[in-house]
Amino acid sequence: MKLGVMCSGNGTNFENIVRSCRFDEVVLMIYNKEGCGAYKRAAKFGIPHCYVDSKDEDKIVREFMWAGVELIVMAGWMRIVTSHLIDAFPHRIINIHPSLLPKHKGLNVIQRAMDAGDTVTGCTVHYVTEELDSGDIIIQGEVPILPDDTIESLTKAIRRQEYSILPRAIEYVKQGL
């Protein structure tokens, strides 16, 4: 399957997709923060990549269509997308989110889980809809919140779980297409 990936940050989930989804091809990575780590990782792997302002969804759609993308993975894309992008790729956009949805939607969710006194958190891969972090859940992975966890240690534990479930979610979606 031809994958398109959308990134805003360091790109560790992007690299995980490249390394673990061996039967799929990442044909384009779009990023919306110049100089971000994802850009550097795409260059390292020789994967076509381009900067697009997150508000320019016309260009995002054109780029993914031009590349023949069959599934879009939002791997740390820190912007809400609109119906324009969603309608162009119906039921073909998935997102990885660092909480057990529907709990803790939006931003700063790891800190919010700790502040709430949760004993378990995790991550969710879900279909993207117009409502923030509300699409159908594909897969979740739990992570215990340990008494001595810090935001940094819990973030690392959740990231390890993301690396596990994201390739499985891609495979699941691919089987359904």
Our measurement of the distance from residue 161's CA atom to the centroid of its chain's CA atoms, rounded to an integer in Å, reads 13
Q: Which residues of the chain have pLDDT under 70?
A: none
pLDDT for 177 equals 84
Cβ atoms within 10 Å of 176's Cβ, excluding its own: 8
CATH code of 130's domain: 3.40.50.170
pLDDT for 22 equals 82
Q: What is the distance between the alpha carbons of residues 120 and 114, in angstroms, rounded to a whole number?
A: 9
Active site residues: 97
Q: Residue 17: which of 65, 74, 56 has the closest Cα? A: 74
Q: Give residue-wise pLDDT tens across range 34-43.
A: 989 999 999 9
Q: What residues make up the domain containing 28? A: 2-176
- In the chain, the number of structural domains is 1
Cβ atoms within 10 Å of 111's Cβ, excluding its own: 13
pLDDT for 2 equals 97
pTM above 0.95, yes or no: yes
Per the CB < 8 A criterion, the answer to whether 125 and 166 are in contact is yes
Instruction: Please give the structure tokens belonging to residue 112.
Output: 């919010």
